[in-house]
Structure formats: C-alpha cells, structure tokens
C-alpha cells in the first residue's frame, strides 16, 4: 500500500469539497469538476500549475514544509488532514515496527479499573488486551473474531443497533485506518484488513474512498446494551509512546445512571455484551 498513489487521491478528494466561492474565487461557467480545479489550488498555494499537477501525481520529489502548508491552507485542511498530507508526501515512509505484546504491568492496570471498561489496541484497531468491564460493554473479545474493532463495527450486524450513532463510530474507525495507511504505507496486515472490509461492506468502501482522516482523541459514546439499557461514556484514547503504536481506550461513565447500570452488570458472570 504505497503512500504516493494515496497522495493524489487525497488531494483530489480535498479539492472536490472546496467551492471556489469558499476561497474568494468566482465559480465561472461550464465547470467540469466539483470543487476547485488544479490551477485554482496552484494559484491559492502560490505554486506553478505544473508543480501542483506533479504533486498530485506523486512526482514532485520531496515537497517542502512551506509548500505542503500552502496547499493545506488552500484546501482548508484541519490539523489531522495536515498531518496526513505530510505523511503521504514523505519520500520514505517508516518501516512497519515489529509486533509487540502488552506489558504485564499494563494488563494489571486494566484489570484494576473495575468500574471503567478499558482495552489496549494497536494502530489497526486490533484488540490486544481488555478488562472484564470491556467484555460487558464493547465486545466479546474472548472470541478471536471480535478482536478487531473495525471488523466488529462493519461485520457484526448487531453493531448498527448497539451503537446509538453507528455512522459516526464507523466513519471514525475508517478514518483511523486511513491515518495508519499513510503512517506505515507498506503494512501488509493493514492492506489485507482494508481489502477484506472493502469487499465485505459497501459502507466501509464508501467511507474508505471518502479519504477522511482523524487522530485518536476523545469523544462521547452511547450504546444500547441488551441488558442494562442505554449507557453513555466518555471515550478517551491514550497513546503509549514506548509501546509501538499501542493505545489505551477507556470508557468512563458519563452520568450516574450509567455508573449504576455498569456496576449492576459487573455483579453478573461475565459473558460478553452479545
């Protein structure tokens, strides 16, 4: 999965969403493209049309930070998109790091968080470790087929009812994989996962070709639990810098009702949310 072809696809997708009037240009007549033309982006970024065309084609060598910033400004990119652009334009993407297990101390920390569902994932959303509360709320990770969050969202039909805002949850998952595809362009495991999901899910395919990206951060998460009813959490994603792209995801109850219902779930034998 080479980053350079993705660079052109990403720039084209960002061009398509910006209207000329959004950036102070006259729309003109007989426009054959949605959004901006290449020459309009070149004008706004103060680069030659030929250079911008070569940039979209992945033939611009190593574009400078100033050029990438100017293009990002012209296309009104947010911070996550700017980071993604820099990764895609990198001449030599970093080598894929070797797989690493979860440190025992980290697993012990998860187990100590009895009132907060928590898990460790890698950059591909593979679930590497979890606590008992996560089994109740997120997925049945005792089942190896459930140990990738993207697969859960797109291949488990019950997820569409379980997550109150499934489209947002699903699009966020795809955006994170897009980010990973630029960071480690030669990741064969990622390429296989994306190919599997594109073939199996029209929704994944649609979200994938949208080229949207994001950085892991925080967001609200509401689920419709089959036993406890509606549960609302504040999801936090904490990167572990020394653990080869691992993240801790914590689901902190956002209200008293969720805390009480989660505590009641914790008193049952753990069997997974489904």
Q: What digits encode the pLDDT tens for the residues 241-273?
A: 876 789 999 999 999 999 999 999 876 655 555
Output the pLDDT for position 12: 93
How, if at all, do strands 229-240 and 118-121 pair?
Answer: unpaired
Mean pLDDT of the chain: 89
CATH superfamily entry for domain 3-89:
lambda repressor-like DNA-binding domains (1.10.260.40)
Whether 1 has a pLDDT exceeding 50, the answer reads no
How far is residue 220's CA from residue 222's CA, in Å, rounded to a whole number? 7
Name the CATH topology of 104-266.
Beta-Lactamase (3.30.450)
pTM value is 0.84
Asked which of 113-117, 153-157, 239-243 is least confident by mean pLDDT, the reply is: 239-243
Domain chopping of the chain, boundaries: 3-89, 104-266
* Mean per-residue pLDDT, 96-124: 91
Q: Which residues contact 47 (CB under 8 A, 6 or more apart)?
A: 55, 67, 70, 71
Whether 124 has a pLDDT exceeding 80, the answer reads yes
How far is residue 172's CA from residue 13's CA, in Å, rounded to a whole number? 17
Whether 91 has a pLDDT exceeding 80, the answer reads no
Output the pLDDT for position 26: 78
As a whole-number percent, the residues of the chain with pLDDT over 90 amount to: 68
Asked which of 68-77, 119-128, 184-193, 214-223 is least confident by mean pLDDT, the reply is: 214-223
């Amino acid at each position: 999965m080479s980053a350079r072809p993705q660079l052109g696809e990403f720039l084209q997708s960002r061009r398509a969403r910006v209207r000329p009037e959004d950036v102070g240009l006259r729309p003109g007549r007989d426009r054959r493209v949605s959004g901006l033309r290449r020459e309009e982006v070149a004008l706004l970024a103060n680069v030659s049309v030929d250079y911008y065309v070569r940039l979209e084609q992945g033939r611009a060598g190593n574009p400078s930070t100033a050029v990438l910033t100017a293009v990002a400004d012209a296309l009104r990119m947010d911070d996550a998109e700017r980071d993604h652009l820099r990764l895609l334009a990198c001449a030599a993407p970093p080598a894929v790091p070797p797989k690493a297990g979860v440190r025992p101390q980290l697993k012990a920390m998860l187990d100590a968080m009895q009132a907060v569902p928590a898990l460790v994932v890698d950059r591909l959303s593979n679930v590497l470790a979890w606590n008992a509360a996560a089994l109740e709320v997120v997925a049945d990770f005792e089942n190896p087929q459930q140990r990738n969050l993207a697969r859960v969202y797109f291949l488990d039909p019950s997820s569409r009812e379980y997550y109150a805002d499934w489209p947002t949850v699903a699009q966020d998952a795809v955006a994170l994989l897009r980010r990973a595809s630029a960071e480690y362009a030669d990741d064969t495991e990622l390429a296989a996962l994306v190919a599997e999901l594109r073939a199996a899910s029209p929704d994944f395919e649609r979200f994938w070709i949208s080229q949207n990206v994001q950085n892991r951060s925080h967001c609200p998460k509401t689920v419709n639990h089959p036993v406890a009813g509606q549960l609302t959490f504040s999801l936090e994603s904490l990167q572990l810098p020394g653990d080869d792209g691992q993240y801790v995801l914590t689901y902190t109850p956002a209200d008293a009702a969720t805390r009480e219902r989660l505590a009641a779930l914790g008193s049952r034998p753990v069997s997974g949310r489904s």
